[in-house]
Amino acid sequence: AQSVTQLGSHVSVSEGALVLLRCNYSSSVPPYLFWYVQYPNQGLQLLLKYTSAATLVKGINGFEAEFKKSETSFHLTKPSAHMSDAAEYFCAVSRFSGANSKLTFGKGITLSVRP
Protein backbone atom coordinates (compact mmCIF):
# COMPACT_ATOMS: atom_id res chain seq x y z
CA ALA A 1 0.00 0.00 0.00
CA GLN A 2 1.09 3.53 -0.66
CA SER A 3 0.62 6.56 1.56
CA VAL A 4 1.64 10.19 1.83
CA THR A 5 2.19 12.31 4.92
CA GLN A 6 2.15 16.08 4.75
CA LEU A 7 3.26 17.56 8.05
CA GLY A 8 1.19 20.48 9.27
CA SER A 9 -2.01 21.71 7.72
CA HIS A 10 -1.09 25.36 7.37
CA VAL A 11 2.08 27.23 6.49
CA SER A 12 2.37 31.01 6.53
CA VAL A 13 5.27 32.90 4.94
CA SER A 14 6.03 36.51 4.08
CA GLU A 15 6.12 37.62 0.47
CA GLY A 16 9.62 37.05 -0.84
CA ALA A 17 10.45 34.38 1.75
CA LEU A 18 11.36 30.77 1.09
CA VAL A 19 8.48 28.34 0.73
CA LEU A 20 9.04 24.81 2.05
CA LEU A 21 6.19 22.31 2.08
CA ARG A 22 7.05 18.86 3.37
CA CYS A 23 5.96 15.52 1.98
CA ASN A 24 6.98 12.01 3.03
CA TYR A 25 5.79 8.91 1.26
CA SER A 26 5.54 5.23 1.83
CA SER A 27 5.64 2.83 -1.08
CA SER A 28 6.61 -0.78 -1.57
CA VAL A 29 7.57 -0.13 -5.18
CA PRO A 30 9.43 2.73 -6.85
CA PRO A 31 6.92 5.55 -6.67
CA TYR A 32 5.79 8.24 -8.99
CA LEU A 33 5.39 11.44 -6.96
CA PHE A 34 3.41 14.57 -7.68
CA TRP A 35 2.66 17.98 -6.27
CA TYR A 36 -0.67 19.58 -7.13
CA VAL A 37 -2.03 23.04 -6.30
CA GLN A 38 -5.67 23.89 -5.79
CA TYR A 39 -7.07 27.40 -5.81
CA PRO A 40 -10.48 28.09 -4.24
CA ASN A 41 -13.38 26.57 -6.16
CA GLN A 42 -11.09 25.02 -8.74
CA GLY A 43 -9.72 21.61 -9.61
CA LEU A 44 -6.15 20.44 -9.15
CA GLN A 45 -3.29 21.74 -11.25
CA LEU A 46 -0.08 19.78 -11.59
CA LEU A 47 2.99 21.68 -10.33
CA LEU A 48 5.58 19.00 -10.95
CA LYS A 49 6.16 15.26 -11.03
CA TYR A 50 8.90 12.74 -10.30
CA THR A 51 8.90 9.65 -12.49
CA SER A 52 12.29 8.06 -11.73
CA ALA A 53 14.37 10.34 -13.90
CA ALA A 54 16.23 13.31 -12.36
CA THR A 55 15.86 13.55 -8.59
CA LEU A 56 15.61 17.35 -8.65
CA VAL A 57 12.42 18.24 -10.46
CA LYS A 58 11.54 21.70 -11.65
CA GLY A 59 7.92 22.65 -12.10
CA ILE A 60 5.76 25.57 -13.01
CA ASN A 61 5.64 28.95 -11.24
CA GLY A 62 9.19 28.61 -9.90
CA PHE A 63 8.53 25.55 -7.75
CA GLU A 64 10.88 22.60 -7.49
CA ALA A 65 11.12 19.41 -5.44
CA GLU A 66 13.84 16.92 -4.66
CA PHE A 67 13.26 13.18 -4.44
CA LYS A 68 15.30 11.69 -1.59
CA LYS A 69 14.90 7.95 -1.43
CA SER A 70 16.91 7.57 1.78
CA GLU A 71 14.55 9.97 3.55
CA THR A 72 11.42 8.90 1.62
CA SER A 73 10.76 12.57 1.07
CA PHE A 74 9.65 14.81 -1.77
CA HIS A 75 9.58 18.33 -0.31
CA LEU A 76 8.34 21.25 -2.38
CA THR A 77 10.28 24.53 -2.38
CA LYS A 78 10.18 27.96 -3.95
CA PRO A 79 12.92 30.51 -3.27
CA SER A 80 10.68 33.56 -3.10
CA ALA A 81 6.96 33.46 -2.28
CA HIS A 82 4.49 35.54 -4.22
CA MET A 83 1.02 36.56 -3.11
CA SER A 84 -0.42 34.49 -5.94
CA ASP A 85 1.09 31.33 -4.40
CA ALA A 86 -1.56 31.35 -1.65
CA ALA A 87 -3.48 28.13 -2.22
CA GLU A 88 -3.76 24.53 -1.02
CA TYR A 89 -1.00 22.12 -1.98
CA PHE A 90 -1.29 18.37 -2.25
CA CYS A 91 1.43 15.76 -2.48
CA ALA A 92 0.43 12.50 -4.16
CA VAL A 93 1.96 9.12 -4.91
CA SER A 94 1.14 6.62 -7.63
CA ARG A 95 2.51 3.47 -9.14
CA PHE A 96 1.34 4.18 -12.67
CA SER A 97 2.12 0.59 -13.47
CA GLY A 98 0.10 0.54 -16.68
CA ALA A 99 -3.03 -0.91 -15.15
CA ASN A 100 -3.00 1.37 -12.14
CA SER A 101 -3.02 5.15 -12.31
CA LYS A 102 -4.67 5.72 -8.94
CA LEU A 103 -3.32 8.68 -7.01
CA THR A 104 -3.05 8.57 -3.22
CA PHE A 105 -3.06 12.07 -1.78
CA GLY A 106 -1.82 13.62 1.40
CA LYS A 107 -4.17 15.74 3.51
CA GLY A 108 -2.98 18.95 1.92
CA ILE A 109 -1.26 22.09 3.21
CA THR A 110 -2.76 25.55 3.01
CA LEU A 111 -0.14 28.14 2.15
CA SER A 112 -0.75 31.74 3.20
CA VAL A 113 1.47 34.56 1.99
CA ARG A 114 1.69 37.73 4.08
CA PRO A 115 2.39 41.08 2.37
Figure out which of the listed residues 22, 96, 110, 112 binds other proteins, where binding follows CB under 8 A: 96
Q: Is 84 helix (H, G, I), strand (E, B) or coil?
A: helix
Residue closest to 51 by CA, chosen among 94, 90, 91: 94
Q: Which residues in 17-76 contact other proteins (CB under 8 A)?
A: 32, 36, 41-46, 49, 51
Minimum Å distance from CB 40 to other proteins? 11
Residue 104 host element (H or E): strand 104-105
Q: Which is nearer to other proteins, 99 or 115 (CB)?
A: 99
Whether the Cβ atoms of residue 34 and residue 45 lie closer than 8 Å to each other: no
Q: Which is nearer to other proteins, 40 or 115 (CB)?
A: 40
Q: What is d(CA 9, CA 33) in angstroms, rounded to the nearest whole number?
A: 19
Catalog residues that contact other proteins under the rule CB under 8 A: 32, 36, 41-46, 49, 51, 90, 92, 94, 96, 99-108
